[in-house]
A = this chain, B = another copy of it.
Amino acid sequence: MANLERRAWASMIELALAEDLLGGDVTTAATVPLHAQARATLLAKASGVISGLEAAREVFAQVDPGLEFVTLVADGDIVPAMTPIAHVSGNARSILAGERLALNLLQRLSGVATVTARYVAEVEGTKARVVDTRKTTPGLRVLEKAAVRDGGGHNHRFGLGDGVLIKDNHLAAVGGPDRVRDAVRAARVAAPHTLRIEVEVTTLPELAEALDAGADIVMLDNMSVDDMREAVTLTQGRALLEASGGVNLTTIREIAATGVDLISVGALTHSAPALDISLDFDLAPAG
């Protein structure tokens, strides 16, 4: 439900509008009449998966609650190039004030959804889920995680509080020869019982140790495809296996074919190029 999610990014949008508008909009004040009315179309100029329409709606609503924002497609829709995706109408100055931020969000989020869809298409027919990481844009995590879902991907934990993931730096803290085992057990005692225990391993012996300690999920970090295949055999469904590291559009199909359950891809959010979207503006007679 939009209103619920909205709580998480409304402050970010406030902050971002302040960047653009604290000093007012001197150009518009000088050239556009105070009460001029307009209608504009948001246009996807390239093909891709749309995401961020609710964020764009929020931008215009914060700038001017009197603006009307009507979506023509839904988040998650795949659109061909030159598809109108929304109309915004009302006071012309208000539309111009919100234009840049609305586009910046739509372009970035649709970029994330579009890249995700490409990865998801690659694993079709395998049982692997494409999942995101915490390598998101600061302040946009909720929106980018939704964009990943819009592109057909799944989400990993949201933050450090809703998933136990024991990584190399944590293992260093436990030391000793049985460090994977000790860390998993420590987590089982101390972490809330509502969370599964995931541990990162880099070798098959470590995997064995993790399984032995009762890990619920094991992350295979930068393992070769052969090792991953071996890992799947060795695990026999006792834990979920997550492939991580070195994943790109060329390698993901082969990785998925090993039988892992999850493939996490940082590039879904940290390097997705923007989808080209513009706002085209027709000035109606002044209201």
Quote the shortest CB–CB distance from A118 to chain B (angstroms): 15
A187 touches B27 (CB 8 A): yes
Size category of the binding interface on chain A: 35 or more
Q: Could you tell me which residues of chain A, from 157 to 195, have a CB within 8 Å of some CB in chain B? A: 157-175, 183, 186-187, 189-195
Q: Which of A78-86, A103-111, A203-211, A229-237 contacts B (4 or more CB under 8 A)?
A: A103-111
Tell whether, in the assembled complex, residue B22 and residue A161 are in contact, meaning their CB atoms are under 8 Å apart. yes
A217 & B198 in contact (Cβ 8 Å cutoff):
no
Residues of A1-46 whose CB lies within 8 A of B: 1, 3-5, 7-8, 11-13, 15-34, 36, 38, 40
Given the complex, which residues of B lie within 8 Å of A5, measured CB to CB?
24
- The 0/1 profile, CB within 8 Å of B marked 1, for residues 81-106 of chain A is 00000000001111011011101110
- A283's contact among B3, B40, B160, B175, by CB below 8 Å, is which? B175
**Known contacts A22-B23, A27-B187, A161-B23; A16 and B65 CB within 8 A of each other:** no
Q: In chain A between 251 and 281, which residues have their CB closer than 8 angstroms to a CB of chain B?
A: 261-262, 267, 270-271, 273-274, 279, 281
Which residues of chain B are near A170, meaning CB under 8 Å? Answer: 27-28, 31-32, 96
A196 at the interface (CB under 8 A from B): yes
Known: A107-B270, A173-B31. A19 touches B141 (CB 8 A): yes
Given contacts A162-B192, A196-B196, 7 further A-B contacts (CB under 8 A): A1-B94, A7-B63, A27-B163, A29-B190, A104-B135, A139-B139, A155-B192
Closest 8 CB pairs of A and B: A23-B161, A163-B194, A162-B162, A16-B138, A30-B190, A25-B160, A271-B273, A169-B281
Please report A residues at the B interface, Cβ cutoff 8 Å.
1, 3-5, 7-8, 11-13, 15-34, 36, 38, 40, 62-66, 91-94, 96-97, 99-101, 103-105, 107-108, 111, 129, 131, 134-142, 154-175, 183, 186-187, 189-196, 198, 217, 240, 261-262, 267, 270-271, 273-274, 279, 281-283
Cβ contacts A to B, 28 pairs, < 8 Å = A3-B65, A3-B66, A3-B94, A4-B21, A7-B62, A7-B63, A12-B138, A15-B139, A16-B139, A16-B141, A20-B159, A22-B23, A23-B23, A24-B142, A26-B195, A27-B166, A31-B166, A31-B171, A100-B160, A108-B270, A111-B271, A139-B140, A154-B192, A158-B161, A162-B163, A169-B279, A169-B281, A194-B198
